[in-house]
Structure 1
Amino acid sequence: MNRTWWKESVIYQIYPRSFNDSDNDGIGDIPGIIEKLDYLQELGIDVIWLSPVYQSPNDDNGYDISDYQAIMDEFGTMEDWDLLLEEIHRRDMKLIMDLVINHTSDEHVWFMESRKSHDNPYRDYYIWRDGKDGKEPNNWESIFSGSAWQYNERTNDYYLHLFSKKQPDLNWENPKLRKDIYEMIRWWLDKGIDGFRMDVINFISKDQAYPDGDVVDGKPYASGAKYFMNGPNIHDYLNEMNREVLSDYDIMTVGEMPGVSPEEAKLYTGEDRNELNMVFHFEHMDLDSGPDGKWDVKPWSLVEMKKIFNKWQLDLGNEGWNSLYWNNHDQPRVVSRFGNDSAYRETSAKMLATTLHMMKGTPYIYQGEELGMTNVNFNSIEEYKDIETLNMYNEKIENGANVDRIMESLHIKSRDNARTPMQWSGETNAGFTNGTPWIKVNPNYKEINAEQNTRNPQSVYHYYRDLIKLRKEHGIIVYGEYEPLLDEDEDIFAYLRKLENEVLLVVNNFSGEEQHFIIPPEVRDNQKCNLLISNYDHYEDRLQDFHLQPYESRVYKIRL
């Protein structure tokens, strides 16, 4: 396997609207990010992934782009962005940008032209279809609820929008569009960025017959999913993008790919495939989704979680590369989801971090994760801002659903859980702004904040620092082979990593009860071992069976 900088990196995602507000208008901005770069450097991260800062009307918080080569006024200027890149590089960190090229805003000049007439030069930059029997062209559903088609009165037909109706899908069948996109990508790379995270990139190729889909109950992408995920020309497009632009630069690329399997991921990320470096899959993010999808919350199972992680670790092997994440801007806070955010918040946050960062792949940290930030329990729908959340709420209310049950689902699953302001201090608005924040701050900011975390050497923040430092010191954490243990244990997530004559033993207790762990025979009683990290104090110098405390993690390094 080739050794590369992006395999050895730890990546930190910034959601700029909620990170740090420098001008007190209540919205995070680029100068605010610059103010906090020393904090990120001290944490030890290598790469910053910046969620969209492009010009946008903000229907979907910046994922609806109206100008790819301009900065959103709320976030600052292009000069601010240039300074951000310069300051990141001066600290020996790298920057990757969010690349949203499945769709644009309906306020992008391409679309404003496209919708004017059938013979407009930009007409085929988007996907237009005639209606069928006075209805939409097919039964595909938007991921944000409702039909995926919107009527355009001026041309008496419909355009496709897999997300909001203000996010029309681009037509990748059109080579002129692809050429314009590649030129835009090259423009950013020539400015000196270090790569891209590509938003729903496996949606860009659609089945050109646009058939009706089977309505599959409980699937979040419902009726049309199989016709727009991993479509017929997806590998041709990604290979062309790599050949025309990406391969000219030493960068990293990661594709967000709902519905991708390990077999497909190997095609996307294989080193001889010349497409992308790694993908984000979502299987472990669906663990607590019931038959009716994301909002149908069900209890999750550790056995099922291990099955998913083990499958991706083993099936990709050395043919692809894993991205490792618990959190991002679309997911609830992990300590509230898979840990214990009350009595064992700090301990379980450390345990979850250990589980992930010791696996094979590139780890991603989402802002506030390193503090053990939690979900927020807003009291009313008026306090939520996310379009997916609001659309779901309105649709459920129209269908007579119980308000309390809907609100309970939002407390657990709403994307706004990840979007409350970063908790910098115990001061007003968590030190995020002196103005009125665009979305309310989580009330627990006085107990959970960066100022308190950085001062306390036993904090979640310092534990993340230690994990990152270990990754830089021990090649086995990056490149070691993965071997699962205790597949059917309902409380312990354990595995080995192996590289040459070294072994890591990683043991994590996902329960609030004490558990007994039996050392695997191949490393039992080994005298050449040391405890690399644990979220409890231990002093053992040899490997013997032991009891795990609630949410305890241990990582031993063993020389055979």
Structure 2
Amino acid sequence: MKRTFWKEAVVYQIYPRSFQDSNGDGIGDLQGILARLDYLQKLGVTVVWLSPVYKSPNDDNGYDISDYEDIMDEFGTLRDWEELLAGLHERGIKLMMDLVINHSSDEHVWFVESRSSKDNPYRDYYIWRPGGPDGALPNNWSSIFSGPAWEQDETTGEYYLHLFSRKQPDLNWENPRLREALYKMMAFWLDKGVDGLRMDVINLISKVEGLPSVQHEDLAPGELAGGGEYYMNGPRVHEYLQEMNREVLSKYDVMTVGETPGATVEDAILYTDEDRHELQMVFQFEHMDVDSGPGGKWNVVSWTLKGLRDILHKWQVGLADKGWNSLYLNNHDQPRMVSRFGDDGKYRVQSAKMLATLLHTLKGTPYIYQGEEIGMTNVKFPALEDYKDIEILNMYREKVTEGGTDHDTILQAIHSKGRDNARTPMQWNASSNAGFTTGTPWLKLNPRYTEINVEQALADPDSVFYYYQELIRLRKQHPIMVYGEYELLLPEHEYIYAYTRTLDDEKWLILLNFGDTPQTVELTDELNAVTGTIISNYPEEPAAMDRSTLRPYEARVCRIG
């Protein structure tokens, strides 16, 4: 397998609004990130992924871009960004920018022109349709953020498509002039020295011709339906990505990862097979739906290790020879992993380390989301007014205000799955506002910042932070963690995820207990062949006779032979 920097990378995602405020306005900014670069260098990460910092009215926290070639005023200036890039490069860290090109803001000059008249040169930069009979919507697709995926514009009377917020109109990739403009914008950033691009919902850019309505016998007249089958992994998406690669990406030594909701293993191979010249890896979401019931994300159900393991195993095996995995358990759109897949109470430290071991010893490129490395938890705000996320607020209005669902039931779902769990400000110390800002934070802090913060973690040699630091150091020293073959053991165990990694004549055994009680490992041959422990999340080694017992949330990486 070809060896590359992006396979060997450890990526750290920064959500700029919540990382560090430098000027007291309560909003994180570029100078704040710059002030924390030594912290990132100490951790050992090799790539920083910056969530959007472009000009934006912030309807969806920067994922609605009004100017692709300038910086949001709240975050700073282009000069600040250039200073940040230089600071990262001086420390040997690469920069990956977010690329949001399925949609723009409705305040982007392209859309301002597009909506001004039907014959405007920019009209075809977006997806416009006339209404149906009696003013009906062009089709019955629902927005991913609730409500219809169409908004009528008063000026021309036609509707524009928005798969997300009504302030995020979808770009029309059928238009070659639009594609050319986007490629030119990408080159603008790559020429400035950007090392990677994370492409937001990139597999939604091609829609099925005609934009047909969802047909289902259970649908009532006028009822909305998802419509994903008509825009996820659409008919021309691979053509577009190959064109993008040919026109832009192939001309730079750049790391690319595509966010691809609804992608299967087979889809991912098409996106990431190196011989196809599209992307290098994708974010898939199958494991993020392991606790979603028939009603979708907000219908929260209990997850099982078998369910999670089966999905991760499928992707490990599926992309073993072609393609490459992105390894993550949380990000800016997902709840905190220690609250979701571990124990954020008694075993918070042990389970955070165990989950980190999983992410760094599977085959693929690990992604760390800010605060994960100190074991930050979900927040569980008691009042709806404390939440800022558009997805949460739209869903609440639809299900409770308009739909009559019980408030407490929905609030519990928000506590479990809401995106603001990940967006509470970074917890730097136990002082006022956790050292994030001297002002009023844009989003309330997690009250646990007095016990869970960077200052505390750096003072404790047994902290989650130093465990991450060691995992990253091991990855840099041992190619087996990157390139070793993966093989699953104990596929039916209720609590233990066990597997091996093998490279040439080197073999490692990874044992992970997802339970809060001791578990027995029935792997006599492998355990008898263990010659040493490489890393464990418990400070003391088990006695020889107890090798087959894993303590609560224990992680053990052993050398075999």
TM-score (norm 1): 0.97
Shift of 1:543: 9.6
Aligned to 2:12: 12
Whether 1:238 aligns to 2:229 is no
Give the corresponding residue for 2:263. 260
Cα deviations across residues 335-393 of structure 1 (Å, max 9, x unaligned)?
00010000100110000111111000000000000010000011111110000000001
1:469-504 CA-partner distances (Å, limit 9, x unpaired): 110111100000110111111100111111111111
> Cα offset for 1:98?
0.1
3-state SS in 2 of match to 1:96: strand
Summarize the alignment of residues 281-292 of structure 1 with structure 2, pairs less than 5 Å apart: 281-292=284-295
Which of 462, 465, 468 lines up with 1:461 in the alignment?
465
Q: What is the identity, as a one-letter code, of the residue corresponding to 1:330?
A: D
Q: How does 1:43-82 map to 2 (within 5 A)?
A: 43-82=43-82
Report 1:341-380 matches (<5 A): 341-380=344-383
Q: Distance in 2 between matches of 1:287 and 1:357?
A: 20
In structure 1, what is the Cα distance between the partners aligned to 2:323 and 2:544?
35
* Range with bigger deviation, 206-215 or 3-12: 206-215
**CA RMSD of the aligned region, Å?**
1.5
Matched, 1:547 2:549: yes
Q: How many angstroms apart in 1 are the aligned matches of 2:212 and 2:433?
A: 50
Q: 1:21 matched to which residue of 2?
A: 21
* Deviation by residue 1:123-168 (Cα, 9 ceiling, x = unmatched): 0000001111221100001000000000012111100000000000
1:68-89, Cα deviation, whole Å (9 max, x unpaired)? 0010000000000000000000
Residue 519 of structure 2 corresponds to: 515
Secondary structure of the corresponding residue to residue 159 of structure 1? strand
Give the corresponding residue for 1:537.
Answer: 539
Which amino acid in the other structure matches residue 554 of structure 2?
E
Residue 540 of structure 1 and its aligned partner are, at CA, apart by: 6.2
Deviation of residue 174 (structure 1)? 0.2
Matched, 1:423 2:436: no
- Three-state SS of the structure 1 residue aligned to 2:274 is coil
- Could you state the TM-score of these two structures normalised by the residue count of structure 2? 0.97
Q: Match for residue 190 of structure 1?
A: 191
Bigger shift: residues 323-332 or 495-504: 495-504
> Are residues 1:41 and 2:41 paired?
yes
Distance 2:339 2:244 in 1: 39
Q: Which runs of 5+ in 2 are unaligned?
A: none
Q: SS of the residue aligned with 2:509? A: strand
AA matched with 1:99:
L
Structure 2 residue aligned with 1:151: 152
- Inter-partner Cα distance in structure 1 for 2:251 and 2:176: 20
Structure 2 CA distance for partners of 1:356 and 1:543, relative to 1, 3 Å: farther
Query: Aligned partners of 1:60, 1:540: CA distance in 2, in Å?
Result: 49
Q: Alignment partner for residue 334 of structure 1, among 326, 333, 337?
A: 337
CA distance in 1, matches of 2:270, 2:65: 29
Kindly report which structure 2 residues correspond to 1:109-148, keeping only aligned pairs within 5 A, or say none. Answer: 109-133=109-133, 134-148=135-149
| In 2, Cα distance between equivalents of 1:39 and 1:352 | 22
Counterpart Cα distance in 2 of 1:137 and 1:241: 30
**Runs of 5+ in structure 1 lacking a partner?**
none
1: CA distance, partners of 2:194 / 2:218: 42
Alpha-carbon deviations, 1:252-299, whole Å to 9, x = none?
Answer: 000000000111100100010100000000011001111101001000
Equivalent pair of 2:515/2:552 in contact (CA under 8 Å) = yes
Residues 222, 505 of structure 1: CA spacing in aligned structure 2 closer, same or farther, 3 A cutoff?
farther
Partner of 2:387: 384
Match of 2:475 among 468, 471, 477: 471
Task: Give the whole-Å Cα distance in 1 for the aligned partners of 2:484 and 2:218.
Answer: 40
Report if the CA contact (8 A) 1:12-1:364 is conserved: yes
- Please say which of residues 127-136 and 270-279 is displaced more in the overlay: 127-136
Residues 1:509 and 1:214: Cα distance change in structure 2 (over 3 Å): farther
Partner SS state of residue 394, structure 2? helix
1:400 corresponding residue in structure 2 = 404
SS of residue matched to 1:264? helix
* CA distance in 2 between partners of 1:115 and 1:329 (Å): 31
- Which of 311, 314, 337 is the matching residue for 2:314? 311
What is the distance in 2 between the residues matched to 1:72 and 1:25? 14
AA in 1 matched with 2:419: R
2: CA distance, partners of 1:510 / 1:223: 34
- Aligned AA (1:124): D
Q: Is the 8 A contact 2:305 2:495 kept in 1?
A: yes
State the one-letter code of the partner of 2:303: W
Query: Secondary structure of 1:58's partner?
Result: coil
1:30–1:12 distance in 2 versus 1, CA, 3 Å? same
Distance in 2 between residues matched to 1:394 and 1:99, nearest whole Å: 30
- After superposition, what is the alpha-carbon deviation per residue over 1:288-336, rounded to whole angstroms, capped at 9, x for unaligned? 1111010010000110111000000001112010000011000000000
How many residue pairs match? The answer is: 555
Paired residue type of 1:261: T
Deviating more after overlay: 494-503 vs 161-170? 494-503
Return the alpha-carbon distance in structure 2 between the equivalents of residues 175 and 494 of structure 1: 49
Q: Give the Cα–Cα distance (whole angstroms) in 1 for the partners of residues 547 and 157 of structure 2.
A: 72
Contact 1:371 1:450 in 2 (8 A): yes
Q: Are the counterparts in 2 of residues 518 and 545 from structure 1 also a CA contact under 8 Å?
A: no
User: Structure 2 vs 1, CA of residues 524 and 447 (structure 1 numbering), >3 Å: closer, same or farther?
Assistant: closer
Q: Deviations over 1:91-126 (max 9, x none)?
A: 010000000000000000000000011110000000
Q: How does 1:403-414 map to 2 (within 5 A)?
A: 403-414=407-418
Matched residues in 2 for 1:248 and 1:307: separation?
38
- The 3 A distance-change label for structure 1 pair 459 and 71 is same
Q: Which residue of 2 aligns with 1:483?
A: 487
Structure 1 residues 140 and 446: alpha-carbon distance in aligned structure 2, compared to 1, 3 A threshold: same
Amino acid paired to 1:84 = L
Aligned residues of 1:519 and 1:545 also touching (Cα < 8 A): no
Cα pair distance change 1:435/1:524, threshold 3 Å: closer
- Cα pair 1:212 1:223 within 8 Å, conserved: no
SS across alignment from 1:92:
coil
| AA at the equivalent of 1:22 | S
> 3-state SS of the aligned residue for 1:156?
coil
Mapped to 1, the partners of 2:520 and 2:527 lie a distance apart of 15
Residue identity in the other structure for 2:143: S
- Is the CA contact 1:519–1:543 (under 8 Å) kept in the aligned structure 2? no
* Distance verdict in 2 for CA 1:365–1:466, change over 3 Å: same
In 1, the alpha carbon distance for the partners of 2:225 and 2:474 equals 43
- Share of identical aligned residues, percent? 62
Match of 1:178, as an amino acid? R
Mapped to 2, the partners of 1:311 and 1:167 lie a distance apart of: 34
Distance 1:505 1:144 in 2: 43
Describe the shift of the 1:343–1:542 C-alpha distance in structure 2 as closer, same or farther (beyond 3 A): closer
Q: Tell me the distance in 2 between the aligned counterparts of 1:543 and 1:553.
A: 18
Structure 2 counterpart SS, 1:436: coil
Are the counterparts in 2 of residues 482 and 498 from structure 1 also a CA contact under 8 Å? Answer: yes
Distance 1:177 1:541 in 2: 65
